[in-house]
Amino acid sequence: MKSVVLGLLLVVLALSGCAHLYKTQIHDVVYLSDSQFDQVADGFGDVRVNGASGKPYVITQQHFQNLMAVRKKIAPVKGQYMQIALVDSDFHTLLLLSHDGKSYVAMSFDFLNIFGSDEESLAAALSHQYAHIAAGDNADVQDSREVKYFVTKEIVSTGVSLFATAAGGYGAGAAIDEAKRVQDKGIEDQVNPLGMKWLLDASYSPCGYLKIKYVMDKNSAVSSALTYLYTHPGINDRVKLSKQYLKENNLECSNLTPDPSEGVVNKSGRLQQ
């Protein structure tokens, strides 16, 4: 019995050490500063920046202009602007990061290359993530929640498997997954209306959500930037809110985002040296 308990304690320590494993899949981060946005004027070319590792990256002119426009328009508190970061990752799409005491809304270069040419889509994605920060659900809070969930699931399912049956362990893990899904949905239900309000207050239509969903449905196997979105709860709820607003205001969406499987000509991302 003592050996089993000791084994469980070792599992706790191991899992705690690996709790941020999902963020180790980020190869590099480009934190865009206030001064970078302030110094760039209309008519500029592609913007060259460095990641946290010192590696050089490029953001195409159109992508940077759209990021800058969204940041300027979605500013619920006057003078306080959204902090934006870009991540070099094959896994991540949209997430929150903490850096030097600031909360950043981050997206992958893959996501930027698919949706960056459409300001409405960027605005929809960024406003929702920014609303998480305003609601107190920043990167540190999310990380802590993920750690507790991951460790609890593994400890409970492992414990039940050891003292009962493997099937019991699987069932316990599934029950914890369902509890997490309910918790995540509750958070999204709180954040969705706030993100939508900011979007509309900034004079954007909610068509960006429909465009993102359209591309997901058409190209679910094209990019991890699309398939990962399926694991982020609430996109269907945001689409539902969007359609409700459009119907109530007698509006329609047109010119949905082009099929990314056709290829992206001008890409943002790492510069080859």
> Which segment of 38-52, 57-71, 104-118 scores lowest on mean pLDDT?
38-52
Q: Quick one: pLDDT at residue 206?
A: 92
Of residues 181 and 168, more confidently modeled: 181
Q: What are phi and psi of 94, to 5 degrees?
A: -125, 135
Asked if residue 28 lies in contact with residue 51, where contact means CB atoms within 8 angstroms, the answer is: yes
| pLDDT band per the 50, 70, 90 thresholds, residue 2 | very low
Asked if residue 132 lies in contact with residue 138, where contact means CB atoms within 8 angstroms, the answer is: yes
Mean pLDDT in residue range 146-158: 61
Report the predicted TM-score, pTM, of the whole model to 2 decimal places.
0.78
Tokens 């119907």 sit at which residue? 247
Q: What are phi and psi of 99, to 5 degrees?
A: -155, 125
Beta bridge partners of 164: none
* pLDDT at 250 > cutoff 70: yes
Tokens 């500063």 sit at which residue? 33
Burial class, 217, CB count within 10 angstroms (exposed 0-12 / middle 13-18 / buried 19+): exposed
Q: Give the list of residues 6+ apart from residue 6 with CB closer than 8 angstroms, or none.
A: none
Over the stretch 12-63, which tens digit does the pLDDT of each residue have?
445 444 444 456 678 999 999 998 888 775 557 899 999 999 999 999 999 9
Which amino acid, residue 40? V
Q: What are phi and psi of 91, to 5 degrees?
A: -105, -45
- Residues 18 and 2: their CA atoms lie apart, in Å, by 24
Over the stretch 171-229, which tens digit does the pLDDT of each residue have?
555 665 666 666 677 778 889 999 999 999 999 999 999 888 887 777 655 454 455 44
Q: Quick one: pLDDT at residue 269?
A: 86
Instruction: Encode the chain in three state secondary structure.
Output: CHHHHHHHHHHHHHHHHCCCHHHHHEEEEEEECHHHHHHCCCCCCCEEEECCCCCEEEECHHHHHHHHHHHHHCCCCCCCCCCEEEEEECCCCEEEEEECCEEEEEEEHHHHHHHCCCHHHHHHHHHHHHHHHHCCCCHHHHHHHHHHHHHHHHHHHHHHHHHCCHHHHHHHHHHHHHHHHHHHHHHHHHHHHHHHHHHHHCCCCCHHHHHHHHHHHHCCCCCHHHHHHHHCCCHHHHHHHHHHHHHHCCCCCCCCCCCHHHCCCCCCEECCC
* pLDDT at 263 > cutoff 60: no
- Residues 269 and 256: their CA atoms lie apart, in Å, by 24
